[in-house]
Amino acid sequence: MTETIDDEPGDLDADVKFLAENTDLSPMQARKLIEEHGRDREKLLKLAGSMKAES
Q: How many other CB atoms are found less than 10 A from the CB of residue 25?
A: 23
What does DSSP assign to residue 51?
S
Please give the model's pTM, rounded to 2 decimal places. 0.74
Q: Mean pLDDT, to the nearest integer, of 41-55?
A: 85
User: pLDDT confidence of 37, banded at 50, 70, 90?
Assistant: very high
The full set of domain ranges for the chain reads 9-49
CA distance 55 to 9: 28
* Residues 8-29: tens digit of each pLDDT: 556 889 999 999 999 999 999 9
